[in-house]
Structure 1
Amino acid sequence: MDTTRSADGTTIAYDRSGSGTPVILVNGALSTRSGAHPLAEALASNFTVITYDRRGRGDSSDTSPYAVAREIQDLGALIDAVDGSAAVYGHSSGAALVAMAASSLPITRVVLHEPPYGPDDEESQQQSDEAGAAVLQLLAEGRRTDAVATFLTMAGMPSEDATEYAKTPGMAEVAHTLAYDFAVMDHPAKGGIVPVSLLGTIHQPTLVVAGSASPPFMTEAARSVAKTLPNGRLVELDGQHHVVPAEVLAPVLTEFLSRR
């Protein structure tokens, strides 16, 4: 494990593997860097791959108050630590974070894997707001496992599966960072809808990845994002869900990231 220090003094823990052009992997909600290790191993024969703990998770520290801008600075510190520029892959809310960072940091190529932007109709927005408020209330009450289960159900996981998964070791320890992910999703466009104006500022070559078996709102969001990007293209992975096995995802990323 290596560490770097962000602009506000937060320690960001990361692992480095492989050699070649740097690629940074940015995880989504409830994830630590260990969750990205299989993908990192699959990419390491072609790239220098960086996996890291977002602030407040794993071996990284935290600094209050939370701000999305500080998470962007964390990513900037990692880029400085590895080579001064890097390609960046973001999964789920991590993809939304990468989208916000792309126009201000030295990012060479961008991969947005199912950023979970929601529909902009009034009913969907109301349901999303109510579910998000319920998660935050549970966190405020210290009911971390219940907060995780509610969030996972909100994201499309069957209720029974969500309840069991929420009991996985380590989930309660990172549950508080769900509030950070909500802030990320709400920052560029209120209500977590597709941030059209923001996406228009991303001029790097950008790959948008979606799974055909993912919740429909995620697939639709990915299609909308790809259409909005000035230099984007979409790859839909047949039969794949929100989390894609490394052996399926790595060849797709390698082909895109290796382009001249």
Structure 2
Amino acid sequence: MPTTGTATAADGIEVEYERHGDGQPVVLLHGGMAPRQYWQPVLPHLEGYAAVVPQRRGFGTCLDDPEETGPDEVLEREVAYTRALVEDLDGESDEPPVLLGHSFGALTAIEAARGLTADGESDAIEAVVAYEPAILPEAFAEHADLADRMAARLDDGDREGAMKLYVEQVVLAGEVEDLDGWLAEWPVWPDCVALVEEVVRMNRAVERYELPDRLDVDAPALVLAGTEGPDFLRESARNVHGALPSSRLVEFDGVSHSGPSEAPERTVAEVRAFRDAH
């Protein structure tokens, strides 16, 4: 059975998390619309690690004032809470944690590591693993309007339609013919519709993010991607790999944007191999 804990961020807000197993902590940061249950397929493969799964604010009951959180604050907020969690884990293991993020969680992991490096605390984490970070290539970002299109559907009262647009464009890369049929078999649908406002805010944050020429991250990084996800995210993974001073890029053939949950054994195997190499 998992244990529960809380980490207190600088703003005084407590971030809840679950801890599964014992060993070196691996902090699992989920992406844009999947709750922390996204990591359930991964957990059985993390034997020998302590899997730490936070409840991202806005993706449960813990966001007190969602309307007060603007898009410019979303990423900063996520980074702050991740760093608070890393600090809370300090001393619980002989080894610092690994940050493993998917999509927006991968961007959060990279930015958290970047901030730790800037503050001279790069030894607070052992490594960063980022599966298809939610970073838009420059040419794509110039025309990105997913947040506006989702917001327009929300303004019309079509919450389900707004979330369908996100699933179609990001999760499925616009390559499914029967969206409703696919959704009927998707375990998180329609519960995830309740998260739509946070997903719009997150998408605005992604659309405004600019990848620097160099990501100053002292910790070694593993960047993962799948060949069956959106082309722009695969391109972004390569761009992130090129901007990191010390990274390895691995592409999973035949795997989509939902790589960690779709191919959990392969994902964890790459994490173990990467950790052993460093």
Same fold (TM over 0.5): yes
Which of residues 181, 204, 212 in structure 2 aligns to 1:196?
212
Please say which of residues 232-241 and 210-219 is displaced more in the overlay: 210-219
Q: Deviations over 1:47-73 (max 9, x none)?
A: 111112210112533445222222111
Partner of 1:192: none
Flag the 1:159–1:2 CA change in 2: closer, same or farther, 3 A: farther
Please say which of residues 23-32 and 69-78 is displaced more in the overlay: 69-78
Q: Runs of 5+ in structure 2 lacking a partner?
A: 117-123
Which of residues 225, 230, 239 in structure 1 aligns to 2:254?
239
Partner of 2:60: 58
- CA–CA distance in 1 between the matches of 2:255 and 2:143? 26
Q: Deviations over 1:26-55 (max 9, x none)?
A: 110111111112212311x12111112210
Count residues with an aligned counterpart.
Answer: 250
Displacement of 1:209 in angstroms is: 0.3
Structure 1 segments, 4+ long, off by >4 Å, are: none
Q: Deviations over 1:199-237 (max 9, x none)?
A: 421221000001122222222221222122110110111
Flag the 1:170–1:19 CA change in 2: closer, same or farther, 3 A: same
Flag the 1:187–1:11 CA change in 2: closer, same or farther, 3 A: farther
Which of residues 80, 89, 92 in structure 1 aligns to 2:87?
80
Displacement of 1:142 in angstroms is: 4.1
- CA–CA distance in 2 between the matches of 1:5 and 1:162? 40
Aligned residues of 1:150 and 1:162 also touching (Cα < 8 A): no
- CA–CA distance in 2 between the matches of 1:148 and 1:217? 20
- CA–CA distance in 2 between the matches of 1:12 and 1:120? 33
Flag the 1:242–1:63 CA change in 2: closer, same or farther, 3 A: same
Aligned residues of 1:79 and 1:86 also touching (Cα < 8 A): yes
Give the counterpart letter for 1:79 in structure 2: V
Displacement of 1:138 in angstroms is: 2.5
Aligned residues of 2:136 and 2:207 also touching (Cα < 8 A): no
Q: Deviations over 1:219-256 (max 9, x none)?
A: 22212221221101101112111112212211111211
- CA–CA distance in 2 between the matches of 1:229 and 1:220? 15
Partner of 2:119: none
Aligned-residue identity in percent: 28
Partner of 2:120: none
Displacement of 1:159 in angstroms is: 6.1
Partner of 1:103: 114
Please say which of residues 239-248 and 15-24 is displaced more in the overlay: 239-248
Flag the 1:186–1:163 CA change in 2: closer, same or farther, 3 A: farther
Which of residues 176, 189, 214 in structure 2 aligns to 1:168?
189
- Residue 135 (1) aligns with residue 150 (2): yes
Give the counterpart letter for 1:171 in structure 2: C
Please say which of residues 236-245 and 25-34 is displaced more in the overlay: 236-245
- Residue 178 (1) aligns with residue 199 (2): yes
Aligned residues of 1:28 and 1:94 also touching (Cα < 8 A): yes
- CA–CA distance in 2 between the matches of 1:89 and 1:21? 13
Give the counterpart letter for 2:109 in structure 1: V
Give the counterpart letter for 1:81 in structure 2: D
Displacement of 1:101 in angstroms is: 1.3
Q: Runs of 5+ in structure 1 lacking a partner?
A: 190-194
Question: With structure 2 as the length reference, what TM-score do the two structures score?
Answer: 0.80
- CA–CA distance in 2 between the matches of 1:113 and 1:211? 9
Question: With structure 1 as the length reference, what TM-score do the two structures score?
Answer: 0.86
- Residue 152 (1) aligns with residue 167 (2): yes
Give the counterpart letter for 1:242 in structure 2: H
Displacement of 1:148 in angstroms is: 0.6
Aligned residues of 2:238 and 2:249 also touching (Cα < 8 A): yes
Give the superposed CA RMSD: 2.4
